Amino acid sequence: MPSAFEAARRMIAAMLDGRTSADLDKRSRPDTTTPLKPWIRPSKHLEPTFTAANWKVLLGNSGATEADKAELYDAKAQEQLVGYEHNVENYIGTLRLPVGVIGPLRVNGIFAKGDYYVPLATSEAALVASYGRGARLISSVGGVTTGTLAEAVHRSPGFAFATTTEAGLFVAWVCENFELLKTAAEETTRHGKLVELSPHVEGDHVYLVCSYTTGDAAGQNMVTIATEALCAAILGHSPLKPIYWFVEANFSGDKKASAMSFVGVRGRKVTASVELPGEEIRKQLHTTPQRMEQYWRMSALGGVMSGSIGVQGHYANGLAALYLATGQDAACVAESAVGVTRIETRENDKLFVSVTLPNIIVGTVGGGTNLPTQAAGLNVLGLKGAGNARAFGEVCAAVCLAGELSIIGALCAHEFVNAHKNLARGKA
């Protein structure tokens, strides 16, 4: 590993390339004399006049050209403008990403059962081909077994008190008044249910982890609104008044990998597994069960040594592509792409492979799922609308398993580099 000293020296050399330290000092000072470029006009509602005004600013003050405007704000983007009102502000158009599809991916799950065609939106060559190869292997042996193990979406308001004693008495009051707080939270939503309150005391601070089920929605906004109502009930009824409080105090694991959600759940905890005959591994992945187990053992230790939360190859690749194609919150990949892949050789030339992901944050209603192309992606899956979120979570795990099989197989067969050369950079 390079030393911090050498890294700093290289960076300083790059900073000073053709410049003096006085030049750098001048560049870094606040600039209050140069006129600021025009502001983008904020708009509560999406209207053509606001979008036109924003494009006028961009065309005169950024690197954007009329050709760029035509790409982002084409006829379809203009026609569908109003439909995006609850999904974006300061609208200037839509973004097109290539969408590939893999499948059929056969899933034998508690909630997902059948053959699924899975849309993946990405700009990374080789990704769809790799996940498609894994899906073919899984389906050729009868499919993947999946199960949803737990559900909960969290918010963690924080409260500051005058003393640690007050913090402790506040926790006692919360525990005694769960039903009052549950009622207040659930009055804000038809589908969300407050299932648990978990207090954590740090000195005179209290972190109150509020856990909800959210029906078929991913539920991030749902639990935020419900928790604000819960906090209002606390302020109105608790005899212990906080000095100050926040609706989210960064204990929930929202949009980040955390040890708490890794050992618990955030969203949906899902597992997927398959047992593969050695013959199919040799035929389709060009390697052996023994070599794949050896790779997994070495990579697991590498993950531990690097300090990763969980041990897996590239869940983020498949999840990001699937989330973009189906209207999920792409930022949730930060927490969703955490988990454990396990590979073990079994008797009779078999290989057992499983993935467990404790933080799958997905929905089939609300959020971006109603946008035109994202709704189409969910329809390709056959999982649009109410009653499908748990099945969708299990498909997510199955997709991750397909990706793990393919990338590990490629590494074991020494085909990983050539795959990227051929698909991303032309013929090797």
124 in active site: yes
Identify whether residues 133 and 233 lie together within a single domain.
Answer: no
Residue 2 in this model has a pLDDT that exceeds 70: no
Identify whether residues 229 and 324 lie together within a single domain.
Answer: no
Number of domains in the chain: 3
Identify whether residues 330 and 286 lie together within a single domain.
Answer: yes
Identify whether residues 325 and 194 lie together within a single domain.
Answer: no
Identify whether residues 335 and 393 lie together within a single domain.
Answer: yes
Tokens encoding 240? 């212990």
Q: Give the mean model confidence (pLDDT) for residues 20-35.
A: 90
Q: Say how far apart CA 93 and CA 83 lie, in whole Å.
A: 12
Examine residue 344 and state whether it is found in any structural domain, yes or no. yes
Q: What is the pLDDT of residue 115?
A: 98
- Residue 58 structural domain: 40-96
Examine residue 382 and state whether it is found in any structural domain, yes or no. yes
Identify whether residues 139 and 187 lie together within a single domain.
Answer: no
Q: Say how far apart CA 288 and CA 292 lie, in whole Å.
A: 6
Q: Pick the catalytic residue from 47, 85, 124, 344.
A: 124
Lowest mean pLDDT among 16-25, 158-167, 231-240, 364-373: 16-25
Identify whether residues 171 and 236 lie together within a single domain.
Answer: yes
Tell me: the pLDDT tens digits for 335-363?
A: 999 999 999 999 999 999 999 999 999 99
216 in active site: no
Tell me: the pLDDT tens digits for 46-78?
A: 999 999 999 999 999 999 999 999 999 999 999
Q: Output the domain CATH number for residue 240.
A: 3.30.70.420
Q: Output the domain CATH number for residue 125.
A: 3.90.770.10
Examine residue 368 and state whether it is found in any structural domain, yes or no. yes
Residue 10 vs residues 3, 21, 57: alpha-carbon distances, Å = 11, 15, 39
Identify whether residues 364 and 312 lie together within a single domain.
Answer: yes
Residue 315 in this model has a pLDDT that exceeds 70: yes
- How confident is the prediction for the chain on average, in pLDDT? 95
End-of-domain residue from the set 203, 218, 246? 246
Examine residue 345 and state whether it is found in any structural domain, yes or no. yes
Examine residue 31 and state whether it is found in any structural domain, yes or no. no
Only one residue has tokens 């508690």, namely: 110
Q: Pick the catalytic residue from 329, 335, 394, 404.
A: 329
Residue 428 in this model has a pLDDT that exceeds 70: no
Only one residue has tokens 């899975």, namely: 118
Q: Say how far apart CA 179 and CA 174 lie, in whole Å.
A: 10
- If we measure between CA atoms, which residue out of 151, 157, 150, 323 comes closest to residue 224? 157
Only one residue has tokens 């969703």, namely: 336
Tell me: the pLDDT tens digits for 245-296?
A: 999 999 999 999 988 888 889 999 999 999 999 999 999 999 999 999 999 9
Examine residue 1 and state whether it is found in any structural domain, yes or no. no
Extended strands (E) in 77-192: 99-109, 113-121, 144-155, 158-160
Q: What is the pLDDT of residue 1?
A: 56
End-of-domain residue from the set 76, 96, 116? 96
CA angle 240, 243, 244 (to 5 degrees): 115
Q: What is the pLDDT of residue 43?
A: 80
Tell me: the pLDDT tens digits for 137-191?
A: 999 999 999 999 999 999 999 999 999 999 999 999 999 999 999 999 999 999 9
- If we measure between CA atoms, which residue out of 73, 78, 80, 65 comes closest to residue 96? 73
Examine residue 28 and state whether it is found in any structural domain, yes or no. no
Identify whether residues 90 and 183 lie together within a single domain.
Answer: no
End-of-domain residue from the set 96, 124, 139? 96
Identify whether residues 82 and 104 lie together within a single domain.
Answer: no
Q: What is the pLDDT of residue 426?
A: 60
Using a pLDDT cut of 90, give the percent of the chain over it. Answer: 86
Q: Which residues contact 11 (CB under 8 A, 6 or more apart)?
A: none
Q: What is the pLDDT of residue 423?
A: 75
Tell me: the pLDDT tens digits for 198-209?
A: 999 999 999 999
Number of other CB atoms surrounding residue 207 within 10 Å? 17
420 in active site: yes
Identify whether residues 393 and 359 lie together within a single domain.
Answer: yes
Examine residue 13 and state whether it is found in any structural domain, yes or no. no
Q: Say how far apart CA 51 and CA 74 lie, in whole Å.
A: 12
Identify whether residues 162 and 194 lie together within a single domain.
Answer: yes
Q: Give the mean model confidence (pLDDT) for residues 389-418.
A: 96
